[in-house]
Amino acid sequence: MTRRLVVIGNGMAAGRMLEHLTELAPGAHEITVFGAEPRVNYNRILLSPVLSGEKTFEQIVTHDDQWYETRGITLVKGGEITAVDRAAKTVTARDGNVTPYDALVIATGSSPFIVPVPGHRLPGVVAYRDLDDVDAMLAAAEQGGSAVVIGGGLLGLEAAAGLKMRGMDVTVLHLMPTLMERQLDVAAGYLLQQAMEARGIRVICRANTHSILGEDRVTGVRLDDGTEIPARIVVMAVGIRPNAALAKAAGLAVNRGLMVDDHLRTDDPAVFAVGECVEHRGQCYGLVAPLFDMARVLAAQLAGDASAAYEGSVTSTKLKVTGVDLFSAGDFAEGEGREDIVLRDAARGIYKRLVIKDDRLIGAVMYGETADGGWFFDLLRNATPIAEMRDTLIFGRSFAGGAALDPMAAVAALPDEAEICGCNGVCKGKITGAIVDKGLTSLDEVRAHTKASASCGSCTGLVEQLMQLTLGDGFARKTVQPVCSCTELGHDDVRRLILAKGLKSVPAVMQELEWKTSCGCAKCRPALNYYLLCAWPGEYADDNQSRFINERVHANIQKDGTYSVVPRMWGGVTSAAELRALADVVDKFAIPTVKVTGGQRIDLLGVRKDDLPAVWADLNAAGMVSGHAYGKALRTVKTCVGSEWCRFGTQDSTGLGIKLEKTMWGAWTPAKVKLGVSGCPRNCAEATCKDIGVICIDSGYDIHFAGAAGLDIKGTEVLGHADTEDEAMEIILALTQVYREQARYLERIYKWAKRVGTDTIRAQVIDDREKRAAFAARFRHAQRFAQVDPWAERVAGLDAHEFRPMAHFQPREAAE
């Protein structure tokens, strides 16, 4: 006796289940399928090639009318089911027809999420889910113009590529810092953005949509920062949600999706579910492989195999954009006990990362070369031990279990005509010939005679290997202390290459400079963040996650886990209003210790982390800002009372100190910077042990620098003299900027001065007035971009465990 099987939904999961079922148990069921769309089953994965014009709809049809007919399946096209009566075991369609069942399969899929911003219901706003959406996009593309895609995930990028191929100007807006952040790590996301932009698609990350513009239909999109982007069509591709409303209305157990057991059975024994509408073991899937796994199990269950079970799926991702090779699988997040293997080839745009735990591959990300993706996926899915192939695993199946590659042997095998330096077109033979003919023994000599490695420097390693092969023991490679174990490059080379290559993000630096790790470490990330901030003011967005906790919360963590808060007091001068505000904060938050610091400020010690946002809100409201007592930045400007009050004072040291602090505060530097301004040679502000000090004298100002009074104790050196306050300001700003641009991260001014020489610094800051003015101008230019929105206005919506109080309270122009 045949059973009446009703299937609600005619998508890919339902179609694959019916394929298996009619093969396993042909004729065992009287099958009726209700599809909401007015067409046969098709492969939704291939909608992107239809949009781009690479395929037609007919080419992506999975099951045509004849397929259903030959298997005795009744297909009801456009047959939306509006109700399920579990007691009567019937389903009701929108047209009122009632169909009975013995077994019911719910395969209603998912629904696209539409961001509910103003204008989201305007004509011209479409999702990207089915053929009707593709038809709407094609109609818009025929008229030309601009398109905006909201969402930088799989579907969003495929939609963007398709519309671009149809001739539209396309902008992708993505809320997160990198594209496809759920499937890719930061490095691969960076490469993907480069590839999309190379196709002429504009990509804006960290873009929050404020509203969709237009009256009768879409005309554009406005972002939170006020940017407006014209658009004839707006594609929403920000995610999907399980379509479980029908199941919930029928009284079935629904959480995020329709809940099923390992047999794909709901809490009603007669009702099964499969596909994107399902929640299994707390997981909802939006990729096709898990849906097909479910379909196979459900078909076996319906065919009578009670042992068939679905235990979850390991997923992999590929982007369906022609010419973009991308693959990811498994878990590649940071975690304890995990080891990364990373391969980067900047010249070819290749990035590979494998994540290993307990001698098993648990995650893989590949960009640019993905031929071994399937093999890695099998290792991951089968939990294959990889210890014996660990050394060559990153090179793929061809090297599995083989010997590790010898880079020197690879260089030796290169023909003489092989290009080594792409920037200057220098081949191997020219380099080795020059080494032998001219007796070159150092890298600098090779650079001078051949130009190899003299430009961007990315071929430096190859050139050094050639020198080692040619000279043998006669080549003494110059020892460079690398930034950290993630790279062979030193600080100076990293800074030079950031400028030479125009690198403007941490992922860009790591890819182009072939970092050995995927995301860097606690030593290199803060350094790279600083170098980028210094190199590209106004263009590089400060990476908060590359800062230590003290800098993120504008407070110093103490040994008991509480924090020390030090608001700024300009030049050590305060007021009754500021003192009242401090007293109120101390009382309100029961702060146990209040201490005057050596930098003429007041330190609030013992602040609980959860109280930090509120403490800073109250201080900001009183006009007090962070003193950066934790930062690699200007800390304090210590002053004496000077000529305004002291009978020995020669100049207004307090006024100069306040002016310097208000001009320089908030400027990130390689290491902490402290200033002192003394109004006379009696030096009450202790200016001669500071990083930069000013001693006021009758004829003007003596500028000192490179002092220390911590682990190292060192008096300052005299840099030069200024006749006027304005000249003193210019010298100090220029000196600070030279230090910012040329010192290594965490290198104090006195150590930098010892390394490069006082005469070298004096030549740039004192002797050459044109250079000095240029450095000072660059400092002021950078300071114009060192502003953020007043933090106190935003504090209410921030989590106390992840916040950043305002670093800059008033406009820089007002401070000056």
CATH of the domain at 397: 3.30.390.30
Residue 798 has pLDDT above 50, yes or no: no
Residues 268 and 371 in one domain: no
Q: Which of 329-333, 433-437, 693-697, 724-728 has the lowest mean pLDDT?
A: 329-333
Distance of alpha carbon 41 from alpha carbon 45, whole angstroms: 12
Residues 103 and 246 in one domain: yes
- Residue 205 among known ligand-binding residues: no
Q: Which domain holds residue 449?
A: 409-474
Which comes out higher in pLDDT, residue 310 or 335?
A: 310
Judge whether 614 and 600 are in contact, CB under 8 Å: no
- Residue 524 among known ligand-binding residues: no
Judge whether 90 and 100 are in contact, CB under 8 Å: yes
Sign for the pseudo-dihedral over CA of 196, 201, 203, 209:
negative
Please, which pLDDT band fits residue 816 given cuts at 50, 70 and 90?
A: very low
Q: Is residue 422 part of a domain?
A: yes
Q: What is the pLDDT of residue 811?
A: 29
Distances (CA, A) of 191 to 2, 184, 644: 55, 10, 59
Residues 283 and 329 in one domain: no
User: What does the mean pLDDT of the chain come to?
Assistant: 89
- Residue 680 among known ligand-binding residues: yes
Domain boundary among 287, 302, 317: 302
Domain boundary among 238, 264, 292: 238
Residues 608 and 666 in one domain: no
- The neighbouring-strand residues paired with 441 are none
Judge whether 690 and 707 are in contact, CB under 8 Å: yes
Residues 258 and 345 in one domain: no
Residue 415 has pLDDT above 80, yes or no: no
pLDDT tens digits, one per residue of 75-132: 999 999 999 999 999 999 999 999 999 999 999 999 999 999 999 999 999 999 999 9
State percent of the chain over pLDDT 70: 93
Residues 433 and 331 in one domain: no
Is pTM beyond 0.85? Reply is no
Residue 449 has pLDDT above 60, yes or no: yes
Q: What is the pLDDT of residue 175?
A: 94
Residues 427 and 500 in one domain: no
Residues 762 and 656 in one domain: yes
Number of structural domains, the chain?
A: 7
Distance of alpha carbon 25 from alpha carbon 283, whole angstroms: 30
Q: Is residue 219 part of a domain?
A: yes
Residue 459's CATH number: 1.10.10.1100
Residue 443 has pLDDT above 60, yes or no: yes
Distances (CA, A) of 809 to 180, 624, 677: 35, 8, 24
Count of CB atoms within 10 A of residue 750's CB?
20
Task: Describe the strand order of the beta sheet including 169-174 as a list of residue ranges.
Answer: 125-127, 233-236, 146-150, 169-174, 202-205
Residues 232 and 256 in one domain: no
Judge whether 423 and 347 are in contact, CB under 8 Å: no
Q: What is the pLDDT of residue 454?
A: 65
Residues 202 and 230 in one domain: yes
- Residue 684 among known ligand-binding residues: yes
pLDDT tens digits, one per residue of 221-245: 999 999 999 999 999 999 999 999 9
Residues 599 and 465 in one domain: no
